[in-house]
Amino acid sequence: MTIAKIAYKILVFGALTILTQLGGIAYLIAQFGRRRFLLFLFAYGALSLLSVVVAPVFGRVPLSCFGPNVQMASPLFCALNRQYVSPDAKAVVEDLSHHVTGTTVLDANFPFFDGFPLLPHLSHDDGRKVDIALYYEGPLRSPFGYFAFEQGPTGCSKIWATLRWDLDWLQPIFPDVPLDEERTRRAIRFLAKQSKVEKLFVETHLQERLGLSFTKVRFQGCRAARHDDHIHFQVH
């Protein structure tokens, strides 16, 4: 095996591990078969199903991918094993879904190991964090819930080494669906009043637009991703 091929396999293993946590292991298993792609799909599916059973040992449980109340913005989040949370976080999500109809979940956490990063997020690494899509008077503006920003003033200047992507070039492709301010406001108020919830991240201009003033509702900082396309909350 050439150095180039070894480097390629290491790169694929790393990318699959970073994206899905379990994909790298499935890729290693697939190297022992002749039909490697089919073996990879089978191994990855088996590992993903097994993680539902094993994850509670690590203090995490999966959110329902096809539940009648809690909805994932895209099946891709479940396909990438990004729907795992602590039991407390799951309880909050389920309570929210009963309080505000149309609650849609985005990224949560991987099934195993505290400290394992869920890129590109800075903090989704311990089962306590969940992203909820904003509520709209129609379908989500973005097919994945992210990057379709509610534009507003910000005090953030252009700084180096930041995840605050404005993505101005991408905004015109998203449909102009009005924000459902009432449901979004109700959801944030509900989360802010839950004893299990430690804090929420919502962009400052969006807090002001919705007339929100809670100590738990905070600005995430200028180096983190924008939070006027989703609501981030975390439990204790």
Binned at pLDDT 50, 70 and 90, residue 122 comes out as confident
The pLDDT value recorded for residue 159 is 79
Residue 187 and residue 181: Cα distance in Å, rounded?
Answer: 10
The pLDDT value recorded for residue 173 is 96
Query: Cα dist. 22→44, 110, 111, 198, 210 in Å?
Result: 7, 9, 9, 29, 40
The pLDDT value recorded for residue 101 is 93
The pLDDT value recorded for residue 163 is 85
The neighbouring-strand residues paired with 232 are 131, 201
Q: Summarize pLDDT for 79-89 with one digit per residue, the tens.
A: 999 999 999 99
- Give the strands of the sheet with 197-201, arranged side by side: 71-72, 104-105, 129-133, 230-235, 197-201, 217-218
- pTM value? 0.94
The residue among 139, 105, 108 whose CA lies nearest residue 121 is: 108
Place of tokens 């989703």: 230
Domains and CATH numbers, the chain: 3-57 (no CATH), 63-235 (3.30.1380.10)
Q: Summarize pLDDT for 50-91 with one digit per residue, the tens.
A: 999 999 999 999 999 887 778 899 999 999 999 999 999 999
Residue 6 clears pLDDT 80, i.e. is over it: yes
The pLDDT value recorded for residue 158 is 81
Residue 97 and residue 4: Cα distance in Å, rounded?
Answer: 50
Binned at pLDDT 50, 70 and 90, residue 35 comes out as very high
